[in-house]
A and B are shown apart, each in its own frame.
Chain A
Amino acid sequence: MQYVRRASPLHAARAPVAAGYAAALVTAVLAFENPIALAALAFAIVGAATFAGAGRILLRAALFGVPFALLIALVNPLVADQGLTVLARLGEVGPLGNVDVTLEGLTFGAILGLRALLIVLASSALLTATVDSDELLRGFRRISVRSALTAALAVRLVPVLGRDARRLADARRCRPDASARPGPAERLQIVRAVATGALDRALDVAATLEVRGYATPVPSRAPRSRVGRLRAPWSRHDLAFAASAVGLVLLAAGARLLGVARFEAYPRTVVAAGPAEWLLAVAIVLVALLPFADRRGVAR
């Protein structure tokens, strides 16, 4: 899971714009709870990854994202106590107290799980596969070198951790008692080990940065080459994806202001599913995927 330059309109856009596009998709996911809007966003994210040639990477990210999503979906009905439609009474369950599993708790758990999955897909797979972190660093260092480097490193850490996870999964399969395909609990164990290893890795990288002079006081004026890329004229792909990102954020904000795509989880689940919601869904998909239609200037 790492950045590879591919022949796609998204790769042709400058890195800050591509990162902004991925961030806009994440913002939209965070703004909606309505399943129709979320389904449209899922379609948009999968479509964007596919058109950008990162479908395989998205699938790999999903393999790790789905157990997380399932965990959230399963835990929510156990901790939520506001639903009215009781499906099962589990009685006293340890520290959770009296647990009633409700339809509303299950539904909202599924919504939360889906949102988590979409955020993982957009922020890790799409961002990592389509944004050149070095270019991102160059683009933002005029504003803040340190913050830009930190952000670029964070982006770079995703593929590194992805490789760690694959190695750990292989090592787990070498255990005598291991099953061929890890279950959710085993995946969680791997994710935990990756997270633990990430701290070690982060320390090593931080030490490397120190000895490369990262903490040296920055001169007051940045050399001209650092800002050269920002001064280059915007390409049609830059404009298209920037417009798409703004459009997605405006759609999310507008829908919230106008009360479109309303969703209430408790006490009874209420899902707005009128023409406005379907129109919004179509708009989300179109706004997100239209920039991919223009392949002029993209090498095949």
Chain B
Amino acid sequence: MSVLRFEDVTYRYPHASVPALRDVSVDVAAGEFVVAAGLSASGKSTFLRAACGLVPHFHGGEFGGRVVTGGLDTREHGPAALSAVAGTLFQDPETQVVLSSVRAELALPLENRGHGAAAVARGVEETALALGIGELLDRQTHELSGGELQRVALGAALAGRPRLVLLDEPTSQLDPVAGDELVWLLRRLNEEWGTTIVLVEHRLERCLAAADRVLVFEAGELACDAPPRGFLEWAAERAPALATPGARLFARAGLRPPPSGVKEARATLRAHGLLGEEDGLATWPVGDSPRGALAASARVAGADPAGVARALRVAPQVGTQGGRVVGVDPAGVAGDAGAAPAGRGPARDPAPPRSERHWLRRRPAGPPPALAFRGVWHERAGGRAVLRGVDLALAPGERVALMGRNGAGKSTLLRHANGLMAPTRGRVETAGRVALLLQNPNDYFLADRVGEEVGAAALERAGLTALAGRHPRDLSGGERQRLALAIVCDGATPPAALCLDEPTRGMDRAAKGDLAADLRLAAAAGSAVLVATHDPEFAALTADRVVLLADGRPIADGPVAELLSGGWYFSTETARIVDGALLPEDGADLLRARMTVVLRP
């Protein structure tokens, strides 16, 4: 039975020169989990807005064809009527929560439909139970984190128990943990209650394993409608930018079929004898990856691939005691190395020798750092410490990714770098100006034209000269980010350090690649780059060093190859498939080398 049907739908926004949707025909059956993919401005969000009736009732424009949602024709029924059969969730949790308390927020859609008090109360309780947000019911919405807000917004969308849920990049503003939790929640809704899910998402690796079907939009047209594996095969030929890292890894290594997730990829590799039993297992998320380090050093040394493969196969699973792990225990509790609080937690490895602690302070003398934090503390008025004695130095031209869970202190640390915040103890040293790009590029736009925001030279460097007459808010996500970057970097000389806070939120893979290239250029020009990110793929692409922050202090600091392999969250998909590589290109080299070993025993 069809829950959502598009029949030859063509739609053009008011004042737009080209249609956002062209001749789209889709039939979504009840209980399906459908993922809609495509590059920015490909029409996938418009598809969703047509499904929930906002197109054309809210946006206006020219509409042709027919959309039937939950049995209701959207030409005859507006978004309010359709909300009874389809719950909708958009990107930004801030604008989707309209009332002050969580309970009122969940009750609003039910009250709007005229349900009685008992039905409203029951609906709120059931929704809270289903989504595991019971403890949030009496909280104020402004106190919630982004992940919590998004779950509350999802709860409001589900409060009327709709048969269909439409979601437009709901994880784009969330950290990986909250994003994964949301996708798992959708999977549960789909599997346990049979709710039909239509999810628009950029990070396909996150949701492909749960999907029954993938729709790909290109310039408003439906370019592909296939199961995940069929989509990945299509993407490998037609749209490599949409392929997941796992699929690109397989394509480059010449392996088939493309995997829809880590589990499938590892099973295929294991079947081909390309994955040792111990490969990638039982390694701690941080700094405990001798294979990664080995592979990286072998690559640097120019060793032959077969030799690397042999070395990897015989590498013993021993933990790296020294290196750059600064006091982390298996539970992830931060602290000075070896300084275990009495009577707490399991017995841990002996502390590293004193000579290996605080290695940052005793680095060999070289050029002065471009940016250095010296024992930086930041305590809030209530006494809570957000930063706890951070020691960190960046050399000119160095590219460092700052990672850690939400609330670890990443944004606060960046704000100290350029003086937006002052340390309560310690000091920040810089070799010159520090440019800081905050999370939302829109916050930098004060003028009506792109050309008025920065000088012509900076605009040209950013490749935006052709867009000088446009309004900054009319640019695409990637262009906005480039303009904001040009604004903070504008000046006679490049900044000594360039800091970026979560710059890839909501970006497609192509835009992320462009940004990574821009950052490498900035580093090549001598600026130290410090980027706070939740995106391991972007960190691997951009940085040569990773600092992991927890509870306001760095708990691990090391080469990217070492820190982003062998983990669950702070690890790329490639590293989770094949230990010793971070990006599909490196992984494919490694797999080809292993294939050589397998073929020549």
**Which chain A residues have a beta carbon within 8 Å of chain B's beta carbons?**
2-4, 132-134, 137, 152-153, 156, 159-160, 164, 167-168, 170-176, 189-190, 192-193, 196-197, 200-201, 204-216, 218-219, 223-226
Contact = CB atoms under 8 A, between A and B. Distances in A.
A204 B45 CA distance: 14
Given A156-B99, A160-B94, A175-B487, A212 B446 contact: no
A208 B90 contact: yes
Given A168-B443, A210-B78, A176 B100 contact: no
Contact of B117 (A2, A160, A172, A225): A225
Contacts of B430: none
A193 B104 CA distance: 31
B140 A4 contact: yes
A174 B83 contact: no
B99 A137 contact: yes
A201 B98 CA distance: 11
A133 B83 contact: no
Interface stretch (B313-321, B370-378, B433-441, B540-548): B433-441
11 contacts: A132-B100, A174-B435, A174-B436, A174-B437, A176-B491, A205-B98, A210-B58, A213-B84, A215-B78, A215-B79, A216-B114
A236 to B, nearest CB: 25
Contact of B142 (A159, A210, A211): A159
Contacts of A171: 438, 440, 443-444
Contacts of B81: 216
Contacts of B114: 216, 218-219, 223
A213 B113 contact: yes
Given A4-B140, A134-B104, A210-B79, A174 B109 contact: no
Interface of B: 52-54, 57-58, 78-84, 87-88, 90, 92, 94-96, 98-101, 104, 108-109, 111-117, 120, 140, 142, 156-157, 160, 415, 418, 420, 433, 435-438, 440, 442-446, 473, 487-491, 495
A163 B485 CA distance: 22
Contact of A213 (B92, B101, B142, B160): B160
Nearest to A204: B95
Contacts, number: 137
B265 to A, nearest CB: 37
B491 A216 contact: no
A176 B433 contact: yes
A168 B487 CA distance: 14
Given A170-B443, A204-B95, A212 B112 contact: yes
B53 to A, nearest CB: 8
Contact of A211 (B52, B116, B418, B444): B52
Contacts of A153: 98
A133 B81 CA distance: 26
Contacts of A209: 98
Contacts of B436: 174
Question: At the interface, is chain A mostly helix, strand, loop or mixed?
Answer: helix
Counting from the closest, the 9 A-B pairs by CB-CB distance are A225-B117, A204-B95, A171-B443, A219-B114, A215-B80, A213-B112, A210-B79, A211-B88, A213-B83
A2 B142 contact: yes
A152 B160 CA distance: 23
A215 to B, nearest CB: 4
B488 A175 contact: yes
Nearest to A155: B100
A201 to B, nearest CB: 6
A176 B495 CA distance: 9
B79 A211 contact: yes
Contacts of A174: 418, 420, 435-438, 444, 488
Nearest to A136: B100
Contacts of A216: 80-81, 83, 112-114
Contact of B95 (A134, A190, A208, A215): A208
Contacts of B87: 211
B114 to A, nearest CB: 4
Contacts of A175: 444, 487-488, 490
Given A134-B100, A208-B96, A213 B80 contact: yes
B78 A190 contact: no
A224 B114 CA distance: 11
Q: Which of B92, B98, B415, B444 has the most CB of A within 10 A?
A: B98
A212 B83 contact: yes
A176 B490 contact: yes
Contacts of A170: 415, 420, 438, 443
A204 B113 contact: no
B47 to A, nearest CB: 15
B331 to A, nearest CB: 34
Contacts of B92: 204
Contacts of B488: 174-176
Contacts of B100: 3, 132-134, 156
Given A2-B142, A175-B490, A223-B115, 13 more contacts: A170-B415, A205-B98, A210-B58, A210-B78, A210-B80, A211-B54, A211-B83, A212-B108, A213-B112, A214-B80, A223-B114, A224-B117, A226-B111
Nearest to B153: A208
Nearest to A141: B111
B484 to A, nearest CB: 8
Contacts of B442: 197
A185 B491 CA distance: 22
B428 to A, nearest CB: 15
Given A174-B418, A176-B435, A208 B98 contact: yes
Contacts of B433: 176
B179 to A, nearest CB: 20
Nearest to A176: B491
A297 B207 CA distance: 53
A216 B112 CA distance: 6
Contacts of B111: 223, 226
B98 A211 contact: no
Contact of B58 (A176, A205, A207, A226): A207
A38 B440 CA distance: 41
Nearest to B421: A170
